[in-house]
Amino acid sequence: MRPIDIGEMASRAGMAINTFHHQFKRATGLSPIQSQKQLRLLEARNLIAFEGYSVAGAAYEVGYQSPSQFNREYSRFFGLSPARDTEELRRIERVRD
């Protein structure tokens, strides 16, 4: 939920900030901030689709302060709005059962 402190992460890894950022991106293909965003969106997706959270509730739970920003980023990442994506995930889950 809390923002990533790149300086703290770099220090724990024993690296300069620029070196840490470069190594992280080399290893994951994402910057630390992009990685955190991806993890937040994946967790929110799970909360909405399978844990019964509202879209706004999941957004706040994973650290977003703005539901509209969350909706934009979710739609960009998953290709569907949170509501439509949830419908699709639940439909797939029903078919699998």
Domains of the chain: 32-96 (1.10.10.60)
Q: What is the pTM of this model?
A: 0.83
Q: Quote the CA–CA distance of 65 and 75 in Å, as a whole number.
A: 17
**pLDDT score of 60:** 95
What is the per-residue pLDDT across 21-37, written as a single tens digit (0 to 9) for each? 999 999 999 999 899 99
| Residue whose entry in the numeric block shows the structure tokens 């569907």 | 80
- As given in the structure block, the two tokens for residue 66 are 């703005």
